[in-house]
Amino acid sequence: MAALTLVSGSVGLITLQNPPVNALSAAVRQGIVDTVQKALSNPQVKAVVICGQNGVFCAGADIKEFSKPMSGPHVVPMIDAIEVANKPVVAAIEGSALGGGLELALGCHYRISQSKAQLGLPEVLLGLLPAAGGTQRLPRLIGVPAALDLITTGRYVTAAEALKLGMVDQVTDKNTVEAAIKFALSVVGQSLESRRISTLPCPCPADMDALFERVMQRVKQSARGAMAPVACVQAVQAAATLPYAQGIQRERELMDTLFTSGQARALQYCFFSQRVVSRWSMPNGARWDNSKPKHVSKVAVIGLGTMGRGITVALALAGLSVVAVETQQQQMMAGQSAVSGMLARAAQKRGVPSVKHQVHYSVELEAVADVELVIEAVFEDLGLKKQIFKRLSSVCKTDTLLCSNTSALDIDELASQTHRPELVVGMHFFAPAHLMKLLEVVYGPRSAPQAVATVMKLGKRIGKVSVAVGNCRGFVSNRMLKLYAEQAVFLVEEGASPEMVDHTLEKFGFPMGLFRMSDLSGLDVGWKVRKAEGLVEPGQMSRVRQGRRYCPLGDLLCEQGRFGQKTGRGWYLYEPAGSREARPDPWLQSFLEEYRARQGLVPRRIDSQEVLERCLYSLINEGFNILQEGIAAGPEDIDMIYVFGFSFPRHRGGPMFYASQVGLSRVLQRLEHYQQQHPDVPYLQPSSLLRRLVSSGSPPIQKWKEVMRTPHSAL
Ligand code: 3H9
């Protein structure tokens, strides 16, 4: 797990060996302790180099061990023992030095980095802090402001930035281990006093108290209830104000609190879930590992509206050749100029003069004849999409994949318009498509596993978290969201204010409450969908449609031209024109009072517990139905869709993980309660899977699949 070899006659080379990322498992830590001791006590060894096998230095503590009882040597004394060594110890950083991996490197006297390496302390993203001395050594090395930035955000830096910050001593394009050995030999005999970071004073700015106050305020605001970023600030404050021995004690205390928290469990669940969803499977048994993706280098995007533009940019930034088609010359010119602007902004963000890209524009659908994959991104109209699919079927090569960017429409119906239904797959992007991380990949009953594999791989290539789901109205994302949104409107109908509902959801951790989000995306979007479903009856106030409870409030606002931010009015008021600040609107308050009076509804006091339970448990209950139907392969798929598509607070793990933490029997009991109160809302009827899980003793989320697979009676 760590091997020692003698190289160049006098350098002890320690190689960490734990594929794929050389995580610091108990065995690796034991290996480091043993090999360091051996190297230091061997008189032949004049210097030590530590590296990782297979081009990766070390990605930190072994996260898989966090759920097991601690065994093996502790990491802090292991690193302290390296720092006090009286022979120079050099870290040869290739690939990644993350978390405990970077902390190990900070305990070494020198750090040589490969130019392509990435360095960082991402513990905060796992609900933890860098507790192997990272919060104490990094500020001493690079100063308090830079250390606070890296530790509280968990962001990675390139080798070039690490050199600029003073985190590494040298960056090389050549063989890193050889460079480190050469460097180690060059410093043999030199004093190591100034190289022991824990013994150095922490360089503190003059306005230190004000700085910590400012950072703490900012971190609390952006953390949305997450504890780890706050603890990170406290630990760095200890580095700035206390000697190392006391600082490390504080680091340990803060870590102890975080380590056993539900938030850390949720964030670590997210880490693994993000990787689990890439290993998709289909109900017919097709899996990621038996489906070879096709090579894709040229893609067409049909339609250069908001979504088409974002998709084009995402593809171009990933180095794919893109043919963008818009049938009207004027719209094409507008789309082209918008795409160019977005690419220029992306270049600016990357700090380069321009991004090399290959985007070709055309007003002819025939221009897509030689692409390997088409993404149709016209607006959400089934008739129009069907026409396009029919034409694509004759224009494209016989093996071209035909994909549709749709948020709800039937993929199978689109597939039936073509001669190749097996090559039709849904690609549900989220706006803005070049920035949002989620891609819902929708397979129909006839989609070929290879087609799904190809789209999943393309998603990864353009930087998305791709989640494969089955075909149903609204797929996983919007099918669940619809019920969550409907409950929020019912609550307002019954007496809550939009501000109160939003405040409750934001306090839970959503960056934006449901009503502010609706105003931002436009109330007319849902109105159009409800019209297409035959639910809208202009000017009508009836509260039962298609046999179930309906709230016409959204329709009534739209009829008044209140579409949200874009019209300056929606659930909130945006003044002056163009303002993005949502202000309570006295007009809306009187409108709601009048509406309730006309409906004979007596407004009641609604507390935040009811808001949370009705909104979230409706979402969760539909999640169980989706699992039961096999539309999502597991709870991880649903959770990643909500974390990456709707900013569900990551430190709560996603709706299904949250349900497991609340307790499934509690969720069931509250759903039964609300179902009794609202018998006209069918989806409050608890899912049979939820009932089965509760009667199976509410197993942990990792075991739900066993209950899902158990045959059951529908009676
Ligand atoms: C820490 O260090 C605490 C310390 O302060 C000490 C406290 C006392 N452990 O991402 P990939 C697995 S906390 C265990 O697909 P990539 C991963 O699950 C740690 N396993 O590859 C996957 O397994 P599988 C702080 C790990 O090339 C496989 O490796 N460190 C770990 O896209 C490949 O991973 C971090 O948070 C780990 N530490 O990206 C770093 N890391 O194949 C987390 C990865 O079974 N890691 N695995 O699904 C990463 O950010 C990325 O994995 C990395 C590679 C950039 C390294």
- pLDDT tens-digit profile of 205-220? 889 999 999 999 999 9
- Give the pLDDT mean for 625-635: 95
Burial 294-306 (b: 16+ CB within 10 A, else e): bebebbbbbbbee
> What pLDDT sits at residue 712?
58
103 is catalytic: yes
Identify whether the C-beta of residue 326 lies closer than 8 Å to the C-beta of residue 311. Answer: no
This prediction's pTM: 0.95
- Give the pLDDT mean for 667-687: 97
559 is catalytic: no
279 lines ligand 1 (CB under 6 A): no
Q: Which of 83, 94, 123, 636 is catalytic?
A: 123
Does pLDDT of 355 surpass 80? no
206-261 confidence digits (pLDDT tens)? 899 999 999 999 999 999 999 999 999 999 999 999 999 999 999 999 999 999 99
Question: Out of 435-439, 500-504, 530-534, 578-582, which region has the weakest mean confidence (pLDDT)?
Answer: 530-534
> What pLDDT sits at residue 352?
81
> What pLDDT sits at residue 577?
83
Contacts of 160 (CB under 8 A, 6+ apart): 115, 171
157 lines ligand 1 (CB under 6 A): no
Contacts of 289 (CB under 8 A, 6+ apart): 279
Query: Whose CA is closest to atom 47 on ligand 1?
Result: 21
- Give the pLDDT mean for 656-683: 97
Does pLDDT of 32 surpass 50? yes
Query: Whose CA is closest to atom 5 on ligand 1?
Result: 130
Classify strands 358-362 and 373-376 as parallel, antiparallel or unpaired. Answer: unpaired
21 lines ligand 1 (CB under 6 A): yes
What is the best residue among 1, 18, 21, 54 to mutate for testing ligand 1's pocket, by most ligand atoms within 8 Å of CB? 21
Distance 435 CA to ligand 1 centre (A): 23
238 lines ligand 1 (CB under 6 A): no
> What pLDDT sits at residue 529?
84
> What pLDDT sits at residue 288?
87
What is the best residue among 28, 63, 156, 273 to mutate for testing ligand 1's pocket, by most ligand atoms within 8 Å of CB? 63
Does pLDDT of 607 surpass 80? yes
Single-letter residue type at 167: M
DSSP state of 583: B
Confidence of residue 714 (pLDDT cuts 50, 70, 90): very low
Helices (H), 365-462: 382-395, 411-415, 449-461
Residue 238 CA to residue 249 CA, distance in Å, equals 9
20 lines ligand 1 (CB under 6 A): yes
Average pLDDT, rounded, for the chain:
95
- Give the pLDDT mean for 106-113: 98
> What pLDDT sits at residue 711?
64
Distance 21 CA to ligand 1 centre (A): 7
Does pLDDT of 669 surpass 90? yes
Structural domains of the chain, ranges and CATH numbers in brackets? 2-252 (3.90.226.10), 291-469 (3.40.50.720), 496-599 (1.10.1040.10), 609-709 (1.10.1040.10)
- Give the pLDDT mean for 399-406: 96
534 lines ligand 1 (CB under 6 A): no
Q: Which residue has the tokens 């760095």?
A: 236
- Give the pLDDT mean for 342-367: 90
- Give the pLDDT mean for 145-158: 97
Confidence of residue 69 (pLDDT cuts 50, 70, 90): confident
Kindly tell me the burial class for residue 236, based on how many C-beta atoms sit within 10 Å of its own C-beta (0-12, 13-18, 19 or more).
Answer: buried
Does pLDDT of 715 surpass 60? no
Distance 122 CA to ligand 1 centre (A): 10
Q: How far is CA 31 from CA 446, 665, 713, in A?
A: 52, 46, 53
Structure tokens at 294: 């096709």
> What pLDDT sits at residue 49?
98
342 lines ligand 1 (CB under 6 A): no
Share above pLDDT 90 across residues of the chain, in percent, rounded to a whole number: 90
> What pLDDT sits at residue 538?
86
Structure tokens at 87: 């022979």
